[in-house]
Amino acid sequence: MSDTLMINEIFYSIQGESTWTGLPCMFIRLTGCHLRCHYCDTEYAFFQGHSRTLDQIMAEVMSFGCDLVEVTGGEPLLQPNVHALMTRLGNAGKTVLLETSGACDISACDSRVIRIMDI
């Protein structure tokens, strides 16, 4: 299996949702979604993105020195390698948030990952 993910964007900002609101956060937005929710605010993530290796993603995230990282999309759980990324982030001491639609199985997520489900 390849060690890549389709990434829409990686950026540093302030967390604006959940109980982590107001904290500095790195966002890793994955490409792709199988749902078309009428309230989606990131339709551009349905198709736009570039393949990046897990090493490349980790290097960019680590360069910011931010301990809070959110993996989002699209629907991030559509890409199987997201689990390896979240585990690597946890192993690096990051607090990992996963924002998911709840349409994909979350049982395979590393137990350290904080799951935020937009049902």
CB-based contact 54:4 (threshold 8 Å): yes
Q: 27 pLDDT band (50/70/90 cuts)?
A: very high
Q: What is the pLDDT of residues 102-115, one digit of tens each?
A: 888 899 999 999 99
Query: Residue 65 corresponds to which tokens in the numbers above?
Result: 């020195």
Q: Give the C-alpha separation, 91 to 110, whole Å.
A: 10
Q: What is the mean pLDDT of residues 2-24?
A: 94
pLDDT of residue 75: 92
Predicted confidence (pLDDT) at residue 47 exceeds the cutoff of 80: no
Q: Give the C-alpha separation, 23 to 67, whole Å.
A: 10
